[in-house]
A and B are shown apart, each in its own frame.
Chain A
Amino acid sequence: MLPCALLALALTAARAEEPVQFNRDIRPILNAQCFKCHGGVKEAGGLNLQFRDRALQAGETGEVAIVPGHPEKSAFIERITTDDKEDRMPRKGPGLSKEQVAMFKRWIAEGAPWEKHWAYIPPKPNGKSIDQTVGDRLAEKKLTLAPAADVATLARRLSLDLIGLPPEPARVTALEAAVKASGETGWNAFIDELLASPAYGERWAVPWLDLARYADSRGYEKDGLRDMWRYRDWVIDSLNADMPYDRFVTEQLAGDLLPKATDEQIVATAFHRNTLQNDEGGTDDEEFRTLAVIDRTNTTFDALQGTSIGCVQCHGHPYDAFVHHEYYELYAFFNQTADADRGDGSPTRKFFARADAEKAAPLRKSVDELQAKITAQENLPENKKALTEWLAEMSATPSEESKDAFLQKLAALPKPIRDLLAKDQKKWTKPERTTVERHFYGALGQGFTELYKELDAVSAELAKVPVCDLPIMQELAPPAARKTQIFERGNWMVKGAEVHPQTPQNLNPWHDDYPKNRLGFAQWLTNGENPLTARVQVNRVWEQLFGVGLVETLEDFGSQGDFPIYQDLLDDLAVRFQGEMKWSQKALLREIVRSRVYRQTSKATKAQIERDPANRLLARGARFRLSNEQIHDQALAIGGVLSRKMAGPPVMPYQPPGIWMTPYDGAQWKTSAGEDSRRRALYTLIRRSAAYPSMVTFDAPNRETCSVRRIRTNTPLQSLDLMNSPVYMEAAAGLAKRMAEPGGSLEEQIQRGLSFALLRPARPAEVAVLRALHAQVGGNLTLVANSILNLDEVLTKN
């Protein structure tokens, strides 16, 4: 039996009067105990329990498994209750429990209704608040919501959740006063302030970049670096602008196909250019183009539909109702872009960072104007003629009498020009030609020399502004459109029947007015009829806040995934997210973090934890280790050394030697200068084959493929990193400075340090421990600060 089915059953027991629900009560048992032999892959005894019509037919023995209304006539019941060991089902294991048997009997007596898998039925509102839904369910279990966490704990929780950074102690003090004075108004102002902070986009970009497999390198063996950062900045900016989720998704899938697509909408399409690119010699570009399209198809479903369809590449889905050809019909949507695993990554387009665009624009304009002026002057007929004559003269073989004059002329030229003139003019490169022409025009006077100088100066200034040569999506023009065929058994070279773009039958219907391309696909995905889009995103947001999704398997909403105990809550939020909230993630977050459920204290007794270790019932607040990015950014923020510089090319903070093995390009990790070595972790350069060590240690994915969920670990390697790495020692030195600078007694300094980190008053016992430590380590306050930054309460969201 699936783990959560048990919890679900436990909950159901309290509602014995309600009719049995197939998806809630029956399917999980069939899934765990029956489908393996009586499902899509194997139909033992001719019985397939996946479909009602099949279960109601006579099997190979002539018996009918399920006779609606008549448990006593149903062979199914007989086989699960018989004492005959040969006949009893399921054949392996101890058999079904009495409660399960009773449930089956009741369900058959009630007519044995089947239901479509819950996640493919559109969500329905339940008309209750988060607190009502959870409170009612807990009451059935004779439980209640835990009391609210104290203001300081909650302020830290909110701040880490919404902006990924801790609040300043002074802000917490002010909040305490505000809450005392005005209650909810104080909280709401604080929440709004966090949601309005530019740091919000940086924090929420991280889980999205995991999905988008954002990295700064190409992947595979060579794994050379490439420009992708402008896309990362687009995600941050869009989140900060609270771009509605439907638009957020549409622009990333099909920004280039929108009417009059803006630069920003083109940048968004780099979402699906984060696929790996293989630059290894001898690889077939078409093979790796195909793999990139497969990855786009899979990622789209993993990230946006919580559905793994990778298996349908080769055969029908073993458990869920997706069939083989449907995979290639989806693939067909993504099979029409111009990129083709080419070495230059084309198509790409150059973009400045958004903040630089303003600075770069006048420079760009001067360059263009100067260039235009120069070109016009160069192209004056008399100048052009003079140049042509001179070039002809310098390339002709001089006659005997003009030889001396020619040689004199030649000797008067600078050596680089002389050398170039000695070469075949037809073989000049463009810059070589320019060099010669500039020399000639410069010698003419007419202000050319000054103009060239000016152009070079402005161009050099412009070159200093970082440019991102970003891979983008570009649809092939119809004559070049590709034909999509099924790959027999998933093999890209064995092409079967031709297919056309189409969405799967068991999801929402296609609208005939949608174009059959990525844009139409995005419309289908976000038109409010898709049963998964809103649920999947709501669940992701929930998981970020609570540590576990309402559906624990973020990656699988199918029948093998987790069954949500709070499906009604998930559905209600999904309906409202795509309805009244107009796909606003900030509105969704506001709704959740204002709830009592979110605000509960995470303090629990042993018995409470044993009863519900993963806190699926939500009878207490969430407590779990912070993410790689939160731990890093928090330590630097507490140490007062975090750079808040946003956007731009990736940075290289300290990394131990020997991490990069770069047999091909000899690229070196060079620690960034100045504040760039202390930026937020999401700006750290990600090279897929040699991930930044702390990222690996603290469970961040290497971004090779779409990563839907991070698994949290707790290892000694984390302790060593936090205690000894120069990055965390720098944070500790910063904290020590902040502790010492305002002066005061050692006790006061320690109290200050603790309250910077914990945002609550230090306790005497804690201060005593750290005072003793201070003496033991010879008065090294940095080591005291280092210890504070290593506390469980600091590394954890409480």
Chain B
Amino acid sequence: MNHPTLLQRNAVELETRRFFLRKSMACIGGMAFATALSPRAGAAPVTTAPQPQFPAKAKRVIYIHLAGAPSHLETFDYKPELAKLDGQICPDSFLAGKRFAFIKGVPKMLGPQVPFAQHGQSGAWFSENFPELGKLADKLTFIKSMWTEQFNHAPAQLMLQTGSQLKGRPSVGSWAYYGLGSENKDLPGFIVLTSSGRNPDAGKTVWGSGFLPSIYQGVQCQGHGEPILFAENPEGVTRDQRRATIDAINAINRQTGEEFGDPETATRIGQYELAFRMQMSVPEATDVASEPAQIHEMYGTKPGENSLANNCLLARRLCERGVRFVQLYDWGWDAHGDSEPNSLTGGQKKKTQLMDKAVAALLSDLEQRGMLHDTLVVCGAEFGRTPMKENRNAGKDNPFAGRDHSPGGFTVWMAGGGLKPGFTYGETDEFGYQAVIDRVHVHDLNATILHLLGFDHEKLTYFFQGRNYRLTDVSGHVVKALLA
């Protein structure tokens, strides 16, 4: 909000609104709703607005979710012991009491499919698919002992993003936006970018606001075509004319709000204001093509393409403009080995390399702009993959190297605001199957993310139908070892 023209325009808008309140609506009590718009949270209505419990280390979040769940065993969790078991029959102890999505009968063990090496002073392990990210080893914070209860995509994604495997709870982005409000009243505080052609399995409920007021839900930018549909006025309609129509709509809506007392009306008033501002700010903010050639080179972006790389660059642009939470979903990481794109040594390898370039570029770019220290970057998925080779067809090995879903142990890495850089926490067993040392449940991860944003996860709550709800349900512990 330091942009002078934006300031000027906002002043004009405010004046316009005052004019309308005075001239047109004073007689019908429209003023009451003017106060329903929170100055702090932009368009968000004041409810029981929470306050951070301690100073935030991170002011904004870029959360990269690799939907489908890539293999931790071909990325960051190096298991030389697993290599020794390659091709052997899986021990019974690995199967007893375990549930799988696809593995049948007794599978074979599958050694790491990619060579690993250590990088940086921290000596963090990276597979050779990460030439770029490896260079930034000392900026990353790894949790290698993540675990969840859910072993199918949709419930596991919901669990990670909303703290419950059932639909209807607010997502982590909604909680962050609810807690911190937005720094830019011209853009939504929580934006969702999806790439590789599809939304995550759990659909848009993973960025829903649940029982929080609907203003806190993620706003999805289209992956292709116009980023925000219908952001352009119809032909022949000027921006001033659109301003005037919104003023008229909202003037009458304020009266409706008074008459019916429905909080959704106040939200709608805010959403029309936001829509108007987005008409201007979104095309500018999403104009990836305006970036210089070396930036495109660095990220591997092609303007107009629906790719993770484009979304990484877009995320940086949105964060620069004060968007609180940018959630990325990249589709196609379900490395079962049932097809070439899902092959650990084929499609997944290529996909990882593209991701490596884009995500490393994002971190370097944020750092160069002096933003990394107060931006939290999270990169992870809903679960890990089995150390066994998948064999879905009658117990016959899949045609390509692939692994089944594995909720018992996986890796998430973070970087930026408030974290101990170049640090690795937790371990899976020697085969990378189950988290065994310093186990971190998804609730613990979420508690830690909220902590970095300045919130005690037990106190960032919302009272709904007789009970205080929170992101971490009734559990979760901040992983203090990760904090700088």
Contacts and interface: CB of A to CB of B under 8 A. Distances in A.
A767 to B, nearest CB: 10
Given A92-B475, A773-B248, A711 B393 contact: no
Contacts of B248: 769-770, 772-773, 787
A506 interface: no
Contacts of A144: none
B168 to A, nearest CB: 7
A414 B475 CA distance: 85
B230 A315 contact: no
Contacts of B27: 765
B214 interface: yes
Contact of A724 (B166, B220, B231): B231
A1 B208 CA distance: 23
Interface string A690-719: 000100110000100000000111111111
B441 to A, nearest CB: 14
17 contacts: A1-B467, A491-B102, A493-B392, A494-B104, A656-B225, A693-B229, A711-B205, A712-B214, A714-B264, A716-B272, A717-B229, A717-B275, A720-B278, A766-B252, A776-B241, A791-B256, A792-B269
Interface stretch (B67-75, B232-240, B293-301): B232-240
Nearest to B167: A711
Interface residues of A, number: 81
Given A608-B261, A720-B231, A778 B217 contact: no
B255 interface: yes
Contacts of B101: 490
A1 B466 contact: yes
A614 B211 CA distance: 10
Contacts of A490: 99, 101
A343 interface: no
Which residue, B168, B253, B259, B466, has most C-beta atoms of chain A within 10 A? Answer: B466
A388 B429 CA distance: 81
Interface stretch (A243-251, A515-523, A582-590, A598-606): A598-606
B264 A766 contact: no
B263 interface: yes
A378 interface: no
Contacts of A697: 229
Interface in B236-262: 237, 240-242, 244-249, 251-253, 255-257, 259-262
Interface in B12-55: 20, 23-25, 27-28
B244 A776 contact: yes
Scoring A689, A715, A780, A793 by chain B CB atoms within 10 A of each residue's CB, the highest score goes to A715
A716 B188 contact: yes
Interface of B: 20, 23-25, 27-28, 99-105, 166-168, 188, 197-198, 203-205, 208-209, 214-215, 217, 219-220, 222, 224-226, 228-234, 237, 240-242, 244-249, 251-253, 255-257, 259-265, 267-269, 271-272, 274-275, 278-279, 339, 392-395, 464-467, 474-475
A716 B272 CA distance: 6
B28 A623 contact: no
B262 A719 contact: no
Contacts of A177: none
A316 to B, nearest CB: 12
Contacts of B240: 776
A491 B105 CA distance: 9
Contact of B99 (A314, A616, A780): A314
Contacts of A315: 99
A787 B203 CA distance: 32
Contacts of B259: 603
Contacts of A657: 225
Contacts of A790: 245, 249, 272
A604 B262 contact: yes
A787 B232 contact: no
Contacts of A623: 260, 262
A661 interface: yes
Contacts of A297: none
Given A491-B103, A689-B198, A724-B232, A716 B274 contact: yes
B233 A724 contact: yes
**Which of B28, B203, B252, B395 is most buried by chain A, counting CB atoms within 10 A of its CB?**
B252
A787 B241 CA distance: 11
A725 interface: yes
A437 B209 CA distance: 69
A6 B279 contact: no
A729 B241 CA distance: 14
Given A282-B339, A715-B214, 6 more contacts: A493-B393, A604-B262, A689-B198, A715-B217, A720-B231, A772-B248
B260 A602 contact: yes
Nearest to B151: A314
B395 A494 contact: yes
A658 B304 CA distance: 11
A783 B246 CA distance: 10
A765 B262 contact: no
Contacts of B279: 720
Interface of A: 1-7, 10, 92-93, 282, 284, 314-315, 489-491, 493-494, 560, 602-606, 608-609, 613-614, 616, 623-625, 656-659, 661, 689, 693, 696-697, 702, 711-721, 723-726, 729, 763, 765-766, 768-770, 772-773, 776-778, 780, 783, 786-787, 790-793, 795-796, 798
Nearest to B217: A713
B274 A661 contact: no
A766 B255 contact: yes
Contacts of B23: 772
Given A711-B168, A793-B256, A6 B465 contact: yes
B234 A729 contact: yes
Given A719-B271, A724-B231, A792-B256, A765 B241 contact: no
Nearest to A721: B230
Contact of B465 (A616, A713, A769, A786): A616
A3 B464 contact: yes
Q: Which of A490, A603, A787 has the most B CB atoms < 10 Å from its CB?
A: A787
A38 to B, nearest CB: 15
A494 B106 CA distance: 10
A718 B225 contact: no
A656 B267 contact: no
A720 B228 CA distance: 9
A458 to B, nearest CB: 45
Contacts of A772: 23-24, 248
B104 A491 contact: yes
A609 B465 contact: no
B219 A717 contact: yes
Given A3-B464, A603-B261, A791 B234 contact: no
Contacts of B225: 656-659
B268 A714 contact: yes
A724 B282 CA distance: 15
A796 B264 contact: yes
Given A494-B104, A716-B271, A724 B214 contact: no
Contacts of B226: 656, 658
A713 B267 CA distance: 10
A300 to B, nearest CB: 20
A715 B251 CA distance: 19
Contacts of A605: 261
